[in-house]
Structure 1
């Protein structure tokens, strides 16, 4: 078996202090625009950002050749410094040891819309298949960017909603005079808001992802295929 390619992807905006145990994290985003937005406000000492530049293939439905040839998946493998797209199922975990990864955490920061949800599900399947120890041992997280920004006419600080229900509750609470902005994606957020809500450890909301989340994503894909 040929060893994995360990050169870093060109699209990676690395941090100054990568390495297992250094407290660093790799932020995965969907596209170049999102990566540029994150690059402006990330903590460059310990936060790296990598754009997937499109949806990764469904590793459960794709041929080994398709998976191995995927530049999106290869870029993640190269950035992390662990894992192999060429290894068979019985050997994958030995290539994906968390204590050898270039980052301690992986943050999935995708747009809060159907495309972003789909991309996150596909990425979860990839991690569960080729980087399972990271997912199993609690090194993978999902950020929760807001879908809506709300401002009032009385000069209050902007408020943010992650669901339509939260938005409606805020609008009802404040009555008239509320302006609602719907974010088209990570790149459309104001830099201070992006930093505050998605990147700053003191103020962002993260959800730890595990094998059970990947299994739920797989069940969702299977159910979707049956409905076709």
Structure 2
């Protein structure tokens, strides 16, 4: 098995209880590296949106720089009939997707999920793939003991409405411009530290729902 993922920032103890973070771009990778646990958290940046891997061949996947980097980082040699037996020696226990919470980041994360669904589904079925909901806004107000976070605009509006109902004034919000713009403490507590991060397991059902959305968009003439 070859091992050539030049942008991988590996951890010192891959194996049980280790994690591979796939992040969106070099700026995000640098930010995560500043707050990760170097012993068991590896970081791999993805540049640009991945291909839609649902109709690709194994050769096409290996020729794709982004997918090849994921496979090499995990220590997997892909074959046309990938199965669970080939995934026994995956280098990390968990695979975590950490993308910007904007439209481009959500699209890129979904394409990465579809790649895992098409070619590495045993990882999904085994409950080893996760998504981290990165905060898009930080909200503070006079009288609040600590700030709170929102990952979507609707969530932000609900938080502001609640604070107003509680009689809090001088509500201040700040929008993060990508993961590279998130301060170190927020990034660590919300996305990296196991005891406080907002981690969601991903499953084949999540991929199925994404495929339905993609099919609906194609009907409307929007190719993804």
Give the secondary structure class of the aligned counterpart of 1:60. helix
What SS class does the counterpart of residue 14 from structure 1 fall into? coil
How many residue pairs get matched?
A: 217
1:146 is paired with a residue whose SS is coil
Query: Are the aligned partners of 2:23 and 2:98 in contact in 1 as well (CA < 8 Å)?
Result: yes
The Cα of 1:42 is off from its aligned counterpart by 0.3
Find the counterpart in structure 2 of residue 194 from structure 1: 187
Aligned residues of 2:52 and 2:114 also touching (Cα < 8 A): yes
Candidates 207, 212, 220, aligned match of 1:219: 212
Q: Is the 8 A contact 1:80 1:101 kept in 2?
A: yes
TM-score relative to the length of structure 2: 0.90
Q: Is the 8 A contact 1:127 1:135 kept in 2?
A: yes
Does structure 1 residue 184 correspond to structure 2 residue 146? no
Contact 1:96 1:133 in 2 (8 A): no
- Inter-CA distance 65–77: structure 2 relative to 1 (3 Å threshold): closer
Distance in 1 (alpha carbons) for counterparts of 2:71 and 2:85: 10
Find out whether 1:119 has 2:112 as its counterpart. no
Match of 1:151 in 2: 140
Once the 2 structures are TM-superposed, how far is the Cα of residue 179 of structure 1 from its aligned partner? 1.4
Whether 1:141 aligns to 2:134 is no
| Residue 207 of structure 1 pairs with residue 200 of structure 2 | yes
Moved over 6 A (4+): none
Give RMSD over aligned pairs.
1.7
Relative to structure 1, the CA distance from residue 64 to residue 137 in structure 2 (aligned partners, 3 Å threshold; closer, same or farther) is: closer
**Matched residue, 2:43:** 49
**2:9 aligned residue (4, 10, 13):** 13
**2:56 & 2:4 partners in 1: Cα distance?**
25
134-143 or 64-73: bigger deviation? 64-73
- Answering whether residue 83 of structure 2 is matched by residue 93 of structure 1, we say yes
